[in-house]
């Protein structure tokens, strides 16, 4: 590894732990990851899991700043980093990081908080995506509009020049997984081997133009296979299009204006962009991979340069 | 057991096998059941599973008529009894029963067919419920209107004086089970111990008046518990109300007129009747338990008295 490690960036999700050794100039000196996700760890197991990856980067003299985002900060994580209420400036995320006491003096660990919407009629929580949004706000400081972050739990946020106004979560990815592997529909979509653009487009149209009856749109997938012959490729893509189309149209129904930024991993994000096109909505795709690290770097800079001046003297 | 067994009625569902010994006057002389449902049996295992229950009723001389409804007639069952296309008279169900060759000369087995809607834009299949509908048509021969049969897969059919015009299936019960036990919502609804009328009513209202966004209505259950404190009773009943309310309003949106007959088991059917009341729709509840046997009896009578005259001489 070249250069001196100045701080360590950590993306600690439910199923993966990813770490980066950063220089003082913000360059990545080294990186690695493991499957020690927050979902599989007890509170006491976080520090050893982290050290197993970053020990080679610790120089031993001064304590190393380690900045963590993600589920490590949930109630079931390493230490709870309480949610910040919306509306909130993304810079607040950095400045309300919570310090973790560790048994190793070489570490100076802090965890970024999540965001929440304390509206009883539309409650929501975000943890992890706020860091990607911080990266987006760094890259596009003047952007105002809606952002879609597809995934197991898709997040939609309304962004206004570095401020998050509102958020909503759709269990789209989880619904797709449950329906395609656990429900009766597994007999129809199981064994699909290639992607069907046609099936996907049909599903998106059904889900978006006819989403009154999402509950009625599922069983026909099974009945269609029984009556007209099975086509697992088409059925799987159709189901995917149905849940994604339902999500997009539910959201665009309330926020029809402007361009949506999609932050996502390549394949799923591509499907979303395709779906936006099918329903005639404007979208720009930004790769999620780089945004998390950009967000952590932005947060690190803020904690060093800005936060102390903002922080209450408690 | 009193009296002579004239024929045997069989309700062979996915998970249960129920049999009744019937007199020539249509009275139940004896009945029993087992967990040898069609879902757990290979084709060759049906005859032994049936004999294990009904052997004591076989007198040994003439072959005993055995009339079966349910999943035993599916492609993965004992012998496929092909679907009848809608629209169809319920009496056709009886007259198109399929004979099964058995290894035991004491048996004369036939299986009732299911119904299907061969409309590519709204395909549907029914197997088992057609027999309850035959029972309903016997009890209320002049009824015209919609019938709701709640369950794992809720069926809605449009009935016109003994004729079924159309059908639709909602995966409501399966969605509830998957969401409450397999999704992230299990953390919110797990451990519920008593029924919350208030939570159910809130869910029904949300699902029926705001069903554009069913996909958006799920995660707030989790977020609400995280932000405002967990209440598993309320959350479980709310989720139940949400899926049921979504189903009812999706259906009433296209068929708003008249009274709906609900055929169901006591507790679930009660929830549906409550939900109908909440959305201001008229419903009458009929217990499913008796209708299956009434349907089998009706079918038996038809096969003896009417069908031979109707049957094509093939």
Average pLDDT over residues A272-296: 93
Count chain A–chain B contacts defined by CB atoms under 8 A: 132
pLDDT at A86 over 90: yes
A contact test, residue of B223, B239, B250, B253 with most A CBs within 10 A: B223
| Of A2-16, A78-92, B44-58, B155-169, minimum mean pLDDT range | A2-16
Distance between CA atoms of residues A24 and A96, nearest Å: 22
Distance between CA atoms of residues A37 and A32, nearest Å: 13
Predicted local confidence at residue B1, as pLDDT: 56
In chain B, residues with a C-beta closer than 8 Å to the C-beta of A168 are 216
Q: Residue A4 is encoded by which pair of tokens? A: 């001196």
Subunit contact A253:B213, Cβ cutoff 8 A: yes
pLDDT tens-digit profile of B135-188?
Answer: 999 999 999 999 999 999 999 999 999 999 999 999 999 999 999 999 999 999
In chain A, residues with a C-beta closer than 8 Å to the C-beta of B179 are 178
Higher pLDDT, A213 or A227: A227
CB atoms within 10 A of CB A152: 16
pLDDT tens-digit profile of A199-222?
Answer: 999 999 999 875 557 888 999 999
In chain A, residues with a C-beta closer than 8 Å to the C-beta of B182 are 178, 182
Subunit contact A215:B117, Cβ cutoff 8 A: no
Q: Residue A278 is encoded by which pair of tokens? A: 């099918």
Q: How confident is the model at residue A172 (pLDDT cuts 50, 70, 90)?
A: very high
What's the DSSP call for residue A56?
Answer: G
A272 Cα to chain B: minimum distance (Å) = 16
B174 Cα to chain A: minimum distance (Å) = 7
Handedness of CA A118, A120, A122, A127 (dihedral sign): positive
Subunit contact A178:B183, Cβ cutoff 8 A: yes
Q: Residue A31 is encoded by which pair of tokens? A: 């990186």
Subunit contact B215:A153, Cβ cutoff 8 A: no
Cα dist. A76→A19, A43, A101, A110, B223 in Å? 20, 7, 17, 16, 15
Contact A248, A276 (CB under 8 A): yes
| Tally of residues, chain A | 314
3-class DSSP state for residue A228?
helix
Contact B285, B160 (CB under 8 A): no
Q: CB-based contact (8 Å) between A226 and chain B? A: yes
Query: What is the distance between the terminal CA atoms of chain A, rounded to a whole angstrom?
Result: 40
Q: CB-based contact (8 Å) between B219 and chain A? A: yes
The DSSP line for A198-216 is: HHHHHHHHHHHHSGGGHHH
Distance between CA atoms of residues A203 and A214, nearest Å: 11
From the list A172, A216, A243, which residue is nearest B170 (CB)? A216
Q: Residue A287 is encoded by which pair of tokens? A: 């790769």
In chain A, residues with a C-beta closer than 8 Å to the C-beta of B171 are 183-185, 215, 218-219
Instruction: State which residue of chain A sits closest to B118, comparing Cα positions.
Output: A227
B contact test, residue of A75, A80, A216, A231 with most B CBs within 10 A: A216
Q: CB-based contact (8 Å) between A132 and chain B? A: no
pLDDT above 90 coverage of chain B, percent: 80
Distance between CA atoms of residues B299 and B295, nearest Å: 6
In chain B, residues with a C-beta closer than 8 Å to the C-beta of A125 are 222-223, 226-227
B284 Cα to chain A: minimum distance (Å) = 22
B251 Cα to chain A: minimum distance (Å) = 8
Instruction: State which residue of chain B sits closest to A126, comparing Cα positions.
Output: B223
pLDDT tens-digit profile of A31-42?
Answer: 999 999 999 999
| Of B60-64, B88-92, B107-111, minimum mean pLDDT range | B60-64
Query: In chain B, positions 245-284, which contact chain A (CB-CB < 8 Å)?
Result: 246-247, 250-251, 253
pLDDT tens-digit profile of B216-252?
Answer: 899 999 999 999 998 999 999 999 999 999 999 888 8
Q: Residue A177 is encoded by which pair of tokens? A: 């997984």
Q: CB-based contact (8 Å) between A170 and chain B? A: yes
pLDDT tens-digit profile of A52-68?
Answer: 999 999 977 789 999 99
The residues that bridge with B110 in the sheet, in sequence order, are B67, B99
Subunit contact A215:B182, Cβ cutoff 8 A: no
Q: CB-based contact (8 Å) between B118 and chain A? A: yes
Residue A68's region, left for phi above 0, alpha for psi from -120 to 50, else beta, is beta
Predicted local confidence at residue A278, as pLDDT: 93
Distance between CA atoms of residues A112 and A133, nearest Å: 13
Q: How confident is the model at residue A254 (pLDDT cuts 50, 70, 90)?
A: low
Q: CB-based contact (8 Å) between B177 and chain A? A: no
In chain B, residues with a C-beta closer than 8 Å to the C-beta of A253 are 212-213
Q: CB-based contact (8 Å) between A139 and chain B? A: no
Q: Residue B110 is encoded by which pair of tokens? A: 């036939």
The DSSP line for chain B is: --S---EEEEEE-SS-EEEEEE-TTS-EEEEEEES--GGG--GGGHHHHHHHHHGGG--SSSPEEEEEEEGGGSTTSSS--PPEESSEEHHHHHHT-EEE--S-TTEEEEE---EEE--TTS-EEESSHHHHHHHHHHH-TT-EEEEEE-STTEEEEEEETTEEEEEEEE-HHHHHHHHHHTSTTHHHHTT--S--HHHHHHHHHHHHHSGGGHHHHSHHHHHHHHHH---HHHHHHHHHHHHHHHHHHHHHTT--SSPEEEEE-HHHHHHHHHHHHHTT--EEEEEHHHHHHHHHHHHHHHHHHTHHHHS---
pLDDT tens-digit profile of B116-139?
Answer: 999 999 999 999 999 999 999 999
pLDDT tens-digit profile of B79-102?
Answer: 999 999 999 999 899 999 999 999
């Amino acid at each position: 590894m070249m250069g001196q490690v100045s701080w360590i960036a950590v993306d600690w999700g439910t199923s993966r732990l990813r770490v980066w050794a950063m220089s003082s100039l913000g360059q990545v000196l080294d990186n690695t990851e493991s499957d020690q996700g927050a979902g599989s760890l007890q509170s006491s197991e976080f520090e050893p899991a982290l050290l197993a990856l970053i020990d080679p980067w610790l120089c031993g003299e001064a304590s190393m700043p380690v900045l963590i985002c993600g589920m490590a900060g949930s109630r079931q994580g390493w230490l709870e980093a309480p949610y910040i209420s919306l509306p909130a400036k993304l810079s607040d995320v950095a400045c309300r990081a919570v310090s973790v006491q560790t048994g190793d003096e070489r570490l100076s660990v802090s965890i970024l908080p999540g965001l929440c919407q304390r509206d009883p009629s539309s409650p929501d929580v975000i943890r992890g995506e706020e860091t990607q949004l911080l990266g987006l706000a760094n890259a596009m400081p003047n952007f105002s509009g809606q952002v879609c972050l597809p995934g197991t739990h898709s997040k939609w946020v309304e962004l206004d020049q570095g401020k998050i106004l509102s958020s909503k979560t759709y269990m789209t990815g989880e619904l797709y997984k449950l329906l395609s592997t656990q429900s009766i529909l597994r007999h129809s979509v199981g064994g699909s081997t290639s992607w069907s653009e046609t099936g996907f487009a049909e599903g998106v149209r059904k889900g978006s133009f006819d989403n009154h009856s999402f509950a009625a749109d599922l069983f026909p997938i099974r009945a269609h296979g029984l009556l007209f012959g099975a086509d697992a490729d088409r059925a799987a893509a159709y189901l995917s299009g149905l849940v994604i189309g339902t999500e997009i149209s539910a959201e665009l129904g309330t926020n029809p204006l402007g361009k949506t930024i999609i932050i996502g991993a390549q394949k799923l994000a591509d499907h979303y962009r395709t779906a936006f096109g099918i329903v005639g909505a404007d979208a720009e795709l930004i790769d999620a991979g780089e945004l998390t690290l950009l967000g952590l770097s932005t947060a690190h800079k803020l904690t060093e340069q800005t936060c102390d001046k903002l922080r209450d003297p408690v």
